[in-house]
Chains A and B, each alone.
Chain A
């Protein structure tokens, strides 16, 4: 589904080589950890998948399409098939929880009734019932991340990319979030989780790709 073929990414302005000759193939239904320390290139790897970046060399393909060669409209279309979860949640502060989560559904043109029904389902799933009318700053870190996850999975994407989804959370909330991601995997979604948390990788089963200084150093 998602393929990195001899991908190298250079940031000339920062004089940094973020990724070096990366070759990864991710199949439908997989649960993959991208493990590495801060600055190892994890975020760049994910950004290439939703076309926030383009590779300097090599190709990144999603469903067989070279992402460097897609139009602006196709980028929008690609992002409507991929759910992204960020370390800093990226919630809109002046939109309520319900309005944040419904954003991708509105973009897809869902009706108000369908959105309402879907939100009820999602809030049940991520345990956010009765929080729909609150604003993000009225929630705890774990709750905010659950809102971000709800937004990412709202339209049942083919692929979920999670960039350090537990970095700002305590260990109890971390496990709750990972349990939630695992549950989504069991529902058939493909997940790519970037993390620096070694303990987490050891506890939860899944394919693990370790990267260091922009290179894949091991895979299990």
Chain B
């Protein structure tokens, strides 16, 4: 058993050595493969980052939208506190705050600007107590609104339905487009790598044929090609990363300018998504190996 493991490790090490040799012995194929993968991964990365920035903006918009529920006049404070506790305990609720009539009046006056003075000069404050609720996910808004309607001391709920539904739809669309872009580019990169490794195999058809003739099992023949694909992907990922590091300020400026009207990006920085930078290399290597696996299945059958 120990010998078998040793044999397997030796086999993989040898295949790795062979794959690295293949890289520089077929330097033109290596360069073509690395740069095509780098381009595919760069486009993939920029698309993913754009989608993530959109998502961030949509989440920000989401946090700006709150549900306001007005409370019946002359309600006892204990009843209001009890209701507030009940709302706060809901898992869908991010925050819930009791707004006094005076606070509400001040807010309204601030919004109205100069005309607000008239409001403040009124003898009687017409605004009742209210609760301002923000949610973790806007999708839960209908559920919470239904719940609030069942509370007897709530007289009215400020209708944010349209805004909620728009942001919610935008969020779903961003998720869908993000998923589609990622899937399409992953398929595109895999096909590209598959074709490139296929080219490498065709280029080395003689070697494959000789390996078959000396009794190499198919798995043994595939190994160096799969590792070679993995290395193409790894190198492609590294080149893509270098391109992105160089063009990082340009990309950031582009995204900032594009989204300025929707919402300032604030503290947002591409460097925050360190996991994307790392995954670029990992995804590259994975796609490389996957593409090579497809290519070996296809082209070794031909050989």
Q: How many residues of B sit at the interface, in one of the four size bands?
A: 20 to 34
What residues of A have a CB within 8 angstroms of the CB of B218 in the complex?
72, 76
B163 partner residues in chain A, CB cutoff 8 A: none
A95-B213 CB under 8 A given contacts A109-B10, A109-B11, A111-B10: no
| Contact across chains for B10 and A79 when beta carbons are under 8 A apart | no
Q: Say yes or no: B214 contacts A79, CB within 8 Å.
A: yes
For window 240-280 of B, CB contacts with A under 8 Å fall at none
B215 touches A107 (CB 8 A): yes
Q: What are the residues of chain A within 8 A of B7 when measuring CB–CB?
A: 109
A103 adjacent to B11 (CB under 8 Å): no
From B10, B14, B26, B214, A104 is in contact (CB under 8 Å) with B214
Tell me if B217 is interfacial: C-beta within 8 Å of chain A: yes
Tell me whether B216 and A107 are in contact (CB under 8 A): yes
User: Contact at A106–B14, with CB atoms within 8 Å?
Assistant: yes
Q: Check if B210 is an interface residue, CB within 8 A of chain A.
A: yes
Could you tell me the distance in whole angstroms from the C-beta of B219 to the nearest C-beta in chain A? Answer: 10
- Among B207, B209, B210, B214, the one with the most A-chain Cβ atoms within 10 Å of its Cβ is B214
B117 CB to closest chain A CB (Å) equals: 88
Chain B nearest CB, measured from A67 CB (Å): 14
Residue of B nearest to A92 (CB): B207
- Contact between B206 and A93, CB atoms less than 8 A apart: yes
Q: A92-B207, A107-B220 are in contact. Are A84 and B213 (CB under 8 A)?
A: yes
* Residue A77 at the chain B interface, CB threshold 8 Å: yes
B201 to chain A, nearest CB (A): 13
Decide if A78 is an interface residue (CB 8 Å cutoff): yes
Q: Which residues of B contact A92 (CB under 8 A)?
A: 204, 206-207, 210
Q: What are the residues of chain A within 8 A of B215 when measuring CB–CB?
A: 75-81, 104, 107
Docked-complex contact A76 and B213, CB < 8 angstroms: no
CA distance A80 to B213 in the complex (A): 9
**A4 interface contact, C-beta 8 A:** no
A191 vs B174: C-alpha distance when bound (angstroms): 71
Q: Most A CB atoms within 10 A — which of B25, B211, B213?
A: B213
Candidates B26, B204, B211; contact of A103 at CB < 8 Å: B211
- CA of A109 to CA of B9 in the docked complex: distance in angstroms? 10
Contact A50–B10 (Cβ < 8 Å): no
For chain A, residues 57 to 98, give those with C-beta under 8 angstroms from any C-beta of chain B.
Answer: 72-73, 75-81, 84, 90-95
Q: Is the CB of A94 within 8 A of B210?
A: no
**Chain B residues positioned under 8 Å from A81 (CB to CB):** 215
Q: Is the CB of A73 within 8 A of B217?
A: yes
Residues of chain A within 8 A of B220, CB atoms compared: 107
Return B5 CB to nearest CB of chain A, in Å. Answer: 12
Q: Name which residue of chain B comes closest to A50, CB basis.
A: B213
Q: Which residues of B contact A93 (CB under 8 A)?
A: 206
A151 close to chain B: CB less than 8 A: yes
Q: When the two chains form their complex, are residues A90 and B217 in contact, meaning their CB atoms are under 8 A apart?
A: no
Given A92-B210, A93-B206, residue A76 in contact with residue B216 (CB < 8 A): yes
Set B10, B26, B207, B209: member contacting A95, Cβ < 8 A: B207
- Which residue of chain B has its CB nearest to the CB of A93? B206
- Quick check: B10 and A107 within 8 Å, CB to CB? no
Distance between Cα atoms of A76 and B218 in the complex (Å): 9
Chain B residues within CB distance 8 Å of chain A? 7, 10-11, 14, 25-26, 204, 206-207, 209-218, 220
Interface contacts beyond A73-B217, A103-B216: sample of 19 additional A-B pairs, CB < 8 Å, sorted by A: A52-B213, A72-B218, A76-B212, A76-B218, A79-B212, A80-B214, A90-B206, A90-B213, A91-B210, A92-B210, A93-B206, A103-B211, A104-B215, A106-B14, A107-B211, A107-B214, A109-B10, A111-B10, A151-B214
What 5 A-B pairs are tightest by C-beta distance, nearest first?
Answer: A79-B215, A80-B215, A104-B214, A107-B216, A109-B7
11 intermolecular pairs with C-beta atoms under 8 Å apart: A73-B217, A76-B212, A76-B216, A92-B210, A94-B25, A94-B204, A95-B207, A103-B214, A103-B216, A104-B214, A111-B10
